[in-house]
Structure 1
Amino acid sequence: MNLIRAAATVGSYTAISRVFGLIREILLSHILGAGTLADAFVVAFKFPNFFRRFFAEGAFNAAFVPQIARRLANNDEQLGRASAKDLAQKVFSCLAWFLFVFVLVVELTTPYLIPLLAPGFATTPERLDLAIQFTRITFPYILFISLSALLAGVLNSLHHFAAAAAAPILLNLMMISALILYPYTNLEPGTALCWSVFLSGLVQFGWLYWICQKLDFKFWLQWPQITDDVKKVLKLMVPGTIGAGVMQINLFIDMMLASLLPTGSLSYLYYADRLNHLPLSIFGVAIGTALLPSLSKCWRQGDVKRAYHQQNTALNFALQLTIPSTIGLIVLSYPLIDLIFGHGHFLVYDVQQTAPALAAFAFGLPAYVMGKVFVTTYFACEDTSTPVKIGLICVITNLTLNLMFMPFFKHVGMAMATSLAAWVNTFLLAFFLRRRNLFSFPKILFLNTLKTTAVSLLMGALLFYSQHWELTNALKSISRILEIGVLVGVGAGFYLAIGYSVGIRPLNSLKS
């Protein structure tokens, strides 16, 4: 499957999932607001998702998919498929047993872990008690969703991207259902949400398990067998966790430090991060997921020219979409937050606190997506040590910047520190790839990036001034949705029209 077409498949389903996710966050902010209950839920939701993002979007797939893809590429198709099945089954059993023990340990130690993860909760016993209660419900989700990541890796190796990309939609649908139906149960909204998270992991696992069965990849639980092939996957995976998940580690540090700030700070960062994740997940995760099997094959066959082409196509496509997205999110941060979250228990003050955090997160959006492409190249070459070293540098950078910015800019400084650390991460990844001749930044890509940035800045200026037009104010008095719709339409139309005239044509990548 063509790289960009595969990315478009993943991106399309991811976009649908993010739309439902946006509906989920709208309901969440309306019902929970940005107070004690919301802060407790954010911790309980982020804790298992911290590990999920490592497995589902980072180190696990980066270590596992190339090994499966290499076996499937065997000249003897039947032998290669049998070898891939055998490895997948062994890794499945090892992962299942490890996660079972891991979940059990966390469940027993939750009252001791939460004060470490959110030290600020110690001063507010109500938040602490709720976070412990909620985490005990949500954490088993990691067992099913991590096994789902393995099944998704198998499907991606078989170039069946759609089923795995569609699975996260189930999480959002179940959480939306919980938020709508909780008044008809005896559950509080926070408790109902937590149970919906747990059940969604089970449903996603069942869905992907059924698809794998249909493709004759059958899995069952057996006693772990640590063969040499399994050791290789684990060896690649363990250090890669840091390299592929540097963004998640940085966000985790933000969560710990934000708990020390006034009540609501965790919620402000959470809502801003969720909105920033809309373009990040669609572009970054989709491109990384589609690129890994293809790039692994190129480097294995020694096809350097094609590998460079794959990298640069992915980077060009990503930058032509993420740079204007960044400018748009920064300029429209306040009206977007006001439109999406500014209702119910989410007050005007909460909007004012969340909007600058969104702008700060958005600054790092191109870096996050470029980093996905660069990390994918390292893992395609089975090099996990370099991203680890770079990841450690960036974690220290993020922590240092957090401590510098936090006293002056509170939670907004934390968001900016995360973005700056992402840029440091991306530049270092590219620098060491270039030194090893694993990355080429041709003149055409450089010129395209300059043109994309220039047109995006012009679009941003247009959006900024258009917010003060009489027509815009008139639309705002009628409907905030109408106002934002017109602004987004004007910005997108301007970018596409001017961009087309200077050669910025991201849709051409889809046709290539």
Structure 2
Amino acid sequence: MNLMKAVGTIGGLTMVSRVFGFAREMMMSRIMGASGAADAFLVAFRLPNTFRRLFGEGAFSAGFVPLFSQRLHGSGGIEDAKRFSEEVLAIFLPMLFAFTLVFELAMPLFVWAIASGYADEPAKFDLTVALTRITFPYLLLISLVSLFSGVLNSLTRFVAAAFAPALLNIAMLGALILEPTGGVPSAYALSIGVTVGGFLQLALLWWSARRAGISLALRRPRITPSVKQFFVVVIPATLGAGVYQISQFIDTFFATRLPEGSMSYLNYSDRLNQLPLSIIGTALGTAILPQISRFIAKGEPDEAAKVQGQAVELSMLLCLPAALALAVVAGPLVAALFQGGRFTPEDALITGNTLAIIVSGLPAYVLVKVITPGFYAREDTKTPVKTAAIVLIANVALNFLLIPPFGIYGLAIAIAACSWLNCIMLTVVLARRGHFRIEPWLWSRILRQLAAGGAMVAALWGVRTAMADFFAGSTIERMAAVGAIVATGGIVYFGVAWAIGAVDREAILTLTRRRRGATAGGAA
């Protein structure tokens, strides 16, 4: 599948999910505000959501997709790949049940470990424990979803896996609609919605795999050579991604020790930061891993490096304007989307400032998603572990250094700085091994993209100043101002980018001609 087409498919459906996610967050901010119940739910939701990022977007796919692709394109074909999937499932499922049971029983201890700041408030602590017990089964469900997603992505069938997260957002949105009173009742409803969303996602992926001709049978658990090979690859990848996720828990630990509402501020700013990361970074990482794995298996490293270079170019083309725009209009954007009901103007101000800091690391977040497949496709999952361990140490040190004087803003600075540290280390290692380097043409393209971004920033600042009254007005006026910002940013950035050669014009024109030809052929 063409890289741009694959990214468009995954990114477009991810956007659908994010639209539902923003509807959920907008309703949640107004119903829950930056309250203690909201903080408790967000801690409870962070646990399964962290494992979603670990398994669904990280370690499992990194280990499973290359090995599945090897068998799929080898002499055994689809039957060998299907047998491999069943052998992995036979071991994976009992482990997940045992893991879930242990955590359910030990939940008070675990919540204390990541949110000990709530221990001085027994009611808030007990609520967090209860909510986490409700949300935790989502881990089991989303891990099975990741297996079926790996199968479908290896077959270049990206639609179901890209759309599945929308079902979680729909389930949580439904929970808020059914229980709009706020406080503890809405927190319980949201927690139930998380687990219901997991069941819906699993049902969709299971059905899609059957339609693709992959119906997995339950086998007796056995440590076969294929399973051993899988764990040799996936355990280091899990440790590497796990170190990063431990960093997320460390952020939670520090946030729970900050004033009430800090978890909410961090959540809403991260929600906006995650939009381009999920649409661009995750889409590219998902699309290029099977392609790089295929070229490596064929002994064509130059083609693998070419795919990675194209992915870096496309990621920066789309990510740079998103990061710059979010930094410039963070405050008005947060106010337009989340302010209202129990979410006060002061809450919006703090969230906007936090967002403006966090998005400075957004390009690095996206580049890491593009760079790491270069390691995983070569079955090297140890290097990302080592770099992640260094990043973890740096994150802890920066949190201790920056949070006392700057509060939640210090936490945001540490998050952004560590993302750049991780990106730089991974890129340098890959370049030193000769697997990938930024060619002169790519440097030139990125510099031109930065120039287009500068023009966009000037235009956005003008629109923000001109529409200041709209951003302070009614909900309809604020949404109109957001629309004006988005339209202006897109027109100026991509217009200037096209004019100065910051995009591959020939590739886009070729793609356009192909689509026109396909349309004409279909009409005939």
TM range (shorter): over 0.9
2:42·2:267 contact (CA, 8 Å) conserved in 1?
yes
1:30·1:341 contact (CA, 8 Å) conserved in 2?
yes
Find out whether 1:37 has 2:40 as its counterpart: no
Instruction: Please give the alpha-carbon distance, in whole angstroms, between the structure 1 residues aligned to 2:169 and 2:352.
Output: 23
- Which residue is equivalent to 2:384? 387
Residues 299-338 of structure 1 mapped to structure 2, 5 A cutoff: 299-338=296-335
1:68·1:154 contact (CA, 8 Å) conserved in 2?
yes
- Which residue is equivalent to 2:159? 162
Cα deviations across residues 176-223 of structure 1 (Å, max 9, x unaligned)? 1111012599x9111111111111111111111111122221223333
Deviation at 1:414, TM superposition (A): 0.9
Cα deviations across residues 294-345 of structure 1 (Å, max 9, x unaligned)? 0001112121221121011100000011111111000100001001110111
Find out whether 1:55 has 2:51 as its counterpart: no
Deviation at 1:149, TM superposition (A): 0.4
Say which of 235, 245, 252 aligns to 1:248: 245
Say which of 452, 459, 482 aligns to 1:462: 459
1:48·1:142 contact (CA, 8 Å) conserved in 2?
yes
Deviation at 1:41, TM superposition (A): 0.3
Deviation at 1:166, TM superposition (A): 1.0
2:10·2:162 contact (CA, 8 Å) conserved in 1?
yes
1:57·1:285 contact (CA, 8 Å) conserved in 2?
yes
Instruction: Please give the alpha-carbon distance, in whole angstroms, between the structure 1 residues aligned to 2:181 and 2:270.
Output: 31
Instruction: Please give the alpha-carbon distance, in whole angstroms, between the structure 2 residues aligned to 1:239 and 1:475.
Output: 48
Instruction: Please give the alpha-carbon distance, in whole angstroms, between the structure 1 residues aligned to 2:402 and 2:506.
Output: 42
Say which of 341, 353, 356 aligns to 1:356: 353
Find out whether 1:505 has 2:503 as its counterpart: yes
Distance change >3 Å, CA 509–CA 444, structure 1 → 2: same
1:36·1:126 contact (CA, 8 Å) conserved in 2?
no
Residues 2-81 of structure 1 mapped to structure 2, 5 A cutoff: 2-74=2-74, 76=75, 79-81=76-78
Say which of 268, 288, 310 aligns to 1:271: 268
- Which residue is equivalent to 2:480? 482
Where in structure 1 are there 5+ consecutive unaligned residues?
none
2:41·2:187 contact (CA, 8 Å) conserved in 1?
yes
Distance change >3 Å, CA 39–CA 184, structure 1 → 2: closer
- Which residue is equivalent to 1:426? 423
Cα deviations across residues 32-67 of structure 1 (Å, max 9, x unaligned)? 111100110001101111112111000110000000
- Which residue is equivalent to 1:473? 469
1:250·1:418 contact (CA, 8 Å) conserved in 2?
no
Deviation at 1:388, TM superposition (A): 0.7
Distance change >3 Å, CA 349–CA 234, structure 1 → 2: same
Residues 437-448 of structure 1 mapped to structure 2, 5 A cutoff: 437-448=434-445
1:251·1:418 contact (CA, 8 Å) conserved in 2?
no
Residues 83-482 of structure 1 mapped to structure 2, 5 A cutoff: 83-182=80-179, 188-244=185-241, 247-469=244-466, 473=469, 477=473, 479-482=477-480
Distance change >3 Å, CA 387–CA 509, structure 1 → 2: farther
Deviation at 1:250, TM superposition (A): 2.6
Instruction: Please give the alpha-carbon distance, in whole angstroms, between the structure 2 residues aligned to 1:55 and 1:475.
Output: 39
Instruction: Please give the alpha-carbon distance, in whole angstroms, between the structure 2 residues aligned to 1:154 and 1:275.
Output: 30
Instruction: Please give the alpha-carbon distance, in whole angstroms, between the structure 2 residues aligned to 1:446 and 1:430.
Output: 14
Instruction: Please give the alpha-carbon distance, in whole angstroms, between the structure 2 residues aligned to 1:108 and 1:58.
Output: 27
Deviation at 1:506, TM superposition (A): 6.5
Where in structure 2 are there 5+ consecutive unaligned residues?
512-524
Instruction: Please give the alpha-carbon distance, in whole angstroms, between the structure 2 residues aligned to 1:242 and 1:118.
Output: 22
Q: Tell me, what secondary structure is at the counterpart of 1:453?
A: helix
1:280·1:369 contact (CA, 8 Å) conserved in 2?
yes
Instruction: Please give the alpha-carbon distance, in whole angstroms, between the structure 2 residues aligned to 1:239 and 1:42.
Output: 29
Number of residues of Structure 1 aligned to a counterpart in Structure 2: 508
Deviation at 1:246, TM superposition (A): 5.4
2:335·2:471 contact (CA, 8 Å) conserved in 1?
no
Deviation at 1:482, TM superposition (A): 1.4
Paired residue type of 1:104: L
1:58·1:245 contact (CA, 8 Å) conserved in 2?
no
- Which residue is equivalent to 2:518? none
2:37·2:187 contact (CA, 8 Å) conserved in 1?
yes
1:361·1:415 contact (CA, 8 Å) conserved in 2?
yes
2:6·2:158 contact (CA, 8 Å) conserved in 1?
yes
- Which residue is equivalent to 1:495? 493
Deviation at 1:477, TM superposition (A): 4.5
